[in-house]
Structure 1
C-alpha cells in the first residue's frame, strides 16, 4: 500500500507560505549585513578624531575622493550621494523588517508572556532588536538628512555641529541604539543562515563587540565635544598644517 498525500483543493499561500517571504528574508539579511558592516567602519572612521584633528582631516579628504582631485581636497558631494544611498538601504531594510513586527495586541501579550516565562536568550535578543529598531526609525533618518543637507565634514565643522547645533543629544541616543541593533542583527543573521553552530560563544563575542563599539563611540563623541567647546561662535573650516 502506498501512502497518499492530501493536498487542499484551493491553493492558499496562508497554508504554504508566499514565495516572496523567503526572498524578503534574504533581502532583509543582506541589507542588515550591509548596514552593520558600514556601522563598524563608520565608528572606527569617526574615532580617528582621537588621533588629532590632522589625522581626521586627511582621512576625510581621502574618503571624499581627494585622491582624484588636483588639489587633493575631497568633494562634499560624495558625502551627499553616499548618504542618499544609505538612506535608501535603510528604507528597504526597514520595509522588510516591518513584516516581523507584532501588529496586534494579542501578539504583544504573547511576546511579553514568552519573555517572562520562558526567558529564551534569542527571544530576548530579538525583543531588544525590535525596541532599538523602533528608536532608529526616527533617529537614523534625522542623521542622514543632516548629512544630505549639510555634508561638510571636518574637525571644526563636525565639532561645531555636535556642540553649537546640539547634535550631541541625537548622537548620544543614536549610538547605543544603533550598536545594539546592528550587532544583534549580525548575531541573528549568523544563526539564521547556519553560519555558526555555537550560539553561546557567539553571544559572548557580540556582547564584547557591543561594549567595545559603544565605548569607542562615546570616546569619539567626547572628543568632538571638547573640540567644539573651544571653537568661536563663527566657525571656519579646519586648515591643514601639513
Structure 2
C-alpha cells in the first residue's frame, strides 16, 4: 500500500471513529438528560431511577451497586477521549489556520461552516468541563439522588460547571448528529438539509430547556 493510500485509509478511519463515537455520546447524553429529568416528577421518581441505574434489582438488600455509575463514567471518559483524538486533527490549532478560517468565512458565508465553528468552540468547552463532571460523579456515586445531587449542585456551587456544560454538550451533540446525517446520509438527507437543521434546532432547544428545568428542580431538595 502506497503512502498516499495509507494516509487516506488512516484519515477515513479517523472520520468513521469520530462519527461513531460522536453519535454514541450524543445518544448517551440525551438518555442521561431524560433520566436526570426524573427529578421533575419528584424525589421518589429520581430515587427509583438512580437505584435502577445502580442495579438495585440485582442486589439482595435493594441498595444496588453505586460503583456501576463509576464504571459508566470511566466508559464515557474513554469514548470521549477516542472522539477527541479522532477530531482534533481537523481543528485550527495554530494562528495561521485560525486566520485562514476567518478569511474563508468572510469570503464564503456558509451556514454549515458556522455550525462547525460552533461545534469546535463547544468541543473545547466540553474538554475543559466534562472531566470535572465525570470525576464528581465517578468518585462519589453513592451521592447520586435528589438530596445528594441537590447538595452538590446548589450548596457546593457545581451548577457553575453544569450550566455551561449543559449548553456546550447539547449544542455540540445536536450539531454533530446533524453533520453526521449530512456527511454519511443519502442524497435525500442532503436535499433535506434545511429541514434537518430545523429539527436540530428544536432538539437543542427542548433538551436545553429540560436540562435547565431539572437543575432548578433540585433547588428545593438542597439542604
**Which of 50, 57, 65 pairs up with 2:55?**
65
**Which of 110, 124, 129 pairs up with 1:120?**
110
Q: Which runs of 5+ in 1 are unaligned?
A: 1-10, 232-242
**Which of 200, 211, 215 pairs up with 2:209?**
215
**When the two structures are aligned, how many residues end up with a matched partner?**
218
Residues 149-158 or 212-221, more deviating: 149-158
Alignment of 1:33-72 (within 5 A): 33-72=23-62
Using the TM superposition, give the Cα deviation of residue 12 of structure 1 relative to its aligned residue in structure 2, in angstroms: 4.2
Q: Distance in 1 between matches of 2:82 and 2:181?
A: 20
Stretches (4+) displaced over 6 A:
none
Q: Which runs of 5+ in 2 are unaligned?
A: none
What is the RMSD computed on CA atoms of the aligned residues? Answer: 1.4
Alignment of 1:84 onto 2:78? no
**Which of 149, 156, 163 pairs up with 1:165?**
156
Normalised to the residue count of structure 1, the TM-score between the two structures is: 0.86
Q: Where does residue 238 of structure 1 map in the other structure?
A: none
Alignment of 1:156 onto 2:150? no
Q: Distance in 2 between matches of 1:139 and 1:99?
A: 21
Alignment of 1:128-147 (within 5 A): 128-147=118-137
Alignment of 1:159-238 (within 5 A): 159-195=150-186, 196-197=189-190, 198-228=192-222, 231=223
Greater fraction helix? 2
Q: Distance in 2 between matches of 1:105 and 1:80?
A: 39
Q: Distance in 2 between matches of 1:93 and 1:58?
A: 32
Normalised to the residue count of structure 2, the TM-score between the two structures is: 0.93
Q: Distance in 1 between matches of 2:173 and 2:48?
A: 28
Question: Which of structures 1 and 2 has the bigger CA Rg?
Answer: 1
CA deviation vs aligned residue, 1:20-60 (integer Å, no higher than 9, x gap): 11111111111000000001100111110000000110111
